[in-house]
Amino acid sequence: MQNRVMFLKIAEAIKKVDKRAWIALALCLSLIIGIVIFDTVKKNREFQTTSVAMGTIINIKLYGPDGEETAQLIAENINETERALLSRNEENSDIDRINNNPDTSVSVSYETADIISKSLEVSKNCGGVFDITIGEITKLWNFDGENQSVPAKEKIDEALSLVGYPYVELSDTSVKIKEGQSLDLGAVGKGAACDRIKTLLESTKTDSAIISVGGSLLLYGDREFTVGIANPQNSQTTLGTLELSDAFVSTSGNYEKFFEQDGETYHHILDATTGYPADSRLSSVTVVCDSGLLSDALSTACYILGYQESISLLAKYNAQAVFVFKDKTIRTTDGLRECFTLTDESFVVGK
Amino acid sequence: MRKLFSRTDIFIIIGVIVLSFIFLIPNVFKNDELIAQVYADGEIVKEFNLSEIDEETVFCPNENIVISVRNGAIRFSSSSCKDELCVNSGWLTAKGQTAACLPQKVVITIKGAGKTDMITY
């Protein structure tokens, strides 16, 4: 009975609602539905995937239409960078042909020549601590292999006599190295891959994207991304974040690859002037600039050079950096002060 | 003079406001979920809702790798590779964490990075 009264009351109330109210209600509902649909469509335009290529983890996050196809193109592009251009283990890649034909002018792709040219320029600007002719030394240390040990000093000295960027002759797309030398683009490969991906994305409808090639990042488009800087003591966590858009970010740290022998830790960032792991007060350096190759090369060079000497090098390339010291202090260059946020309170931001 | 809002108008307005929040409810619950994805050769082969797993189970993306899953955590528990780098990564428990077996192209990642989009290392 009570229900019936209630029902009648509601029916009466509905009758009282005038036409304008119904129209208003319809408008409100369509607005809500519109927002929900828009939100769903927007989410569909986000595509995310993870894979393995170039011997490292690739993370891709794309915003815009055709995400899945674009991710496929990116994967192919990275494999191509490895296979045809930069790998020294891949038979007939540009680098493999250069290394196997010393004292001979080897014709390479325009892209490889450009990568070598820019790398040589960085070597020159940093006094040779970073040097792509370090190939024979990295072979001795074998950080990518198993059962590492410290190479004999005589072997390092012998290999060191062959390291030297001035011996590389580059004209247009012809490259010639000295007998006994070998090129290793390991320190710039991931960044160079990011550069190639940017060129690829420009030919797609992608609005914005963030892509990680083994920790070297490409931030594409106007969207602002939050980039975490790995904590050197536990690289699954972050020590701070950077708010950035349209940039390349690369980090070099002593925690990436290392081994221990007789109580000493040997990390993989080799000083090309000594042939040994760089003796640095730093745990890591993160470089932000407008080129993937340069952010990669500069992060390595800055790690080896240390804070003071890095400042002028970074200025030359209009690059910014975050320096993390072993004593857990952090210093950023002026350009990053505003966008850096500390997230791990056990670190201290110095002035 | 006619009132600006009748009582029914006010009910309708309140109704619409309440209705608009209903759409947010699924999102509120979603944010607390910990979803782990297992990729092999770039394809998702398995997804786990780590929040809903009661007892420890294992999953093998191929014959050489064993992945263990328990409430709120996932890890590589064994691999045929000599160095077992993936096993040494340990349990993954937070959004955005990743572990990988590079030789066999298997990656585990916990979806959604919280506030961080990606990590540079």
ipTM of the modeled complex: 0.84
Q: Which two tokens stand for residue A208?
A: 């914005």
Q: Specify the pLDDT at position A8.
A: 84
Nearest residue in A to B12, CA atom? A25
Place of tokens 């539905």: A33
User: Which among A282, A283, A289, A253 has a CA at the least distance from the CA of A269?
Assistant: A253
**Residue B100 distance to chain A (closest CA, Å):** 7
- Whether B62 and chain A come into contact, CB under 8 Å, resolves to no
Place of tokens 């400042």: A311
A88-136: per-residue pLDDT in tens?
778 889 999 999 999 999 999 999 999 999 999 999 999 999 999 999 9
Q: Specify the pLDDT at position A130.
A: 96
- Which residues in chain A show pLDDT less than 50? none
Task: Give the pairing of strands A247-253 and A329-332.
Answer: unpaired
Contacts of B85 in chain A (CB under 8 A): none
Contacts of B9 in chain A (CB under 8 A): 17, 21
Task: Please answer whether residues A139 and A281 qualify as being in contact, where contact means their C-beta atoms are separated by less than 8 angstroms.
Answer: no
The helix/strand/coil state of A42 is helix
Distance CA B2, CA A346 (A): 65
Domains located in chain A, CATH noted: 48-349 (3.10.520.10)
**Residue A287 distance to chain B (closest CA, Å):** 10
Q: Which of B82, B117, B119 is closest, CB to CB, to A146?
A: B82
Q: Which two tokens stand for residue A336?
A: 């990053």
Kindly indicate the confidence band of residue B29, based on its pLDDT and cuts at 50, 70 and 90.
low
Which residues, listed in sequence order, are joined to residue A230 by a DSSP beta bridge?
A: A238
∠ Cα A248 A142 A169 (to 5°):
65
Nearest residue in B to A239, CA atom? B119
Distance CA A326, CA A321 (A): 16
Q: Specify the pLDDT at position A298.
A: 97
Whether residues A52 and B105 touch (CB distance < 8 A) is answered with: yes
Distance CA A213, CA A58 (A): 5
- Phi-psi bin for A189: left (phi > 0), alpha (psi -120 to 50), beta? alpha
Distance CA A229, CA A332 (A): 12
Which residues, listed in sequence order, are joined to residue A51 by a DSSP beta bridge?
A: A58
Kindly tell me if the per-residue pLDDT of B106 is higher than 80: yes
- In order, the DSSP letters of A296-327 are HHHHHHHHHH-HHHHHHHHHHTT-EEEEEETT
Residues 6+ apart with CB under 8 A from B20: A32
Q: Average the pLDDT over B7-16 and give the result.
A: 82
∠ Cα A91 A97 A101 (to 5°):
130
Contacts of B21 in chain A (CB under 8 A): none
User: Which among A71, A82, A102 has a CA at the least distance from the CA of A185?
Assistant: A82
- In order, the DSSP letters of A43-72 are HHTEEEEEEEETTEEEEEEEESS-HHHHHH
Distance CA A291, CA A82 (A): 18
Q: Average the pLDDT over B41-56 and give the result.
A: 86
**Residue B54 distance to chain A (closest CA, Å):** 25
- Residues of chain A in Cβ contact (below 8 Å) with chain B: 13, 16-17, 21, 24-25, 28-29, 32, 35-36, 49-52, 55-57, 59, 61, 75, 146, 210, 212, 215-217, 225-230, 235-238, 241, 249-251, 253, 256, 286
Q: Which of B16, B39, B117 is closest, CB to CB, to A227?
A: B117
Q: Which of B107, B116, B120 is closest, CB to CB, to A50?
A: B107
Q: Specify the pLDDT at position A44.
A: 59
Q: Specify the pLDDT at position A43.
A: 59
Domains located in chain B, CATH noted: 33-110 (2.60.320.10)
Q: Which two tokens stand for residue A131?
A: 């040097």
Whether residues B82 and A57 touch (CB distance < 8 A) is answered with: no
Kindly indicate the confidence band of residue B83, based on its pLDDT and cuts at 50, 70 and 90.
confident
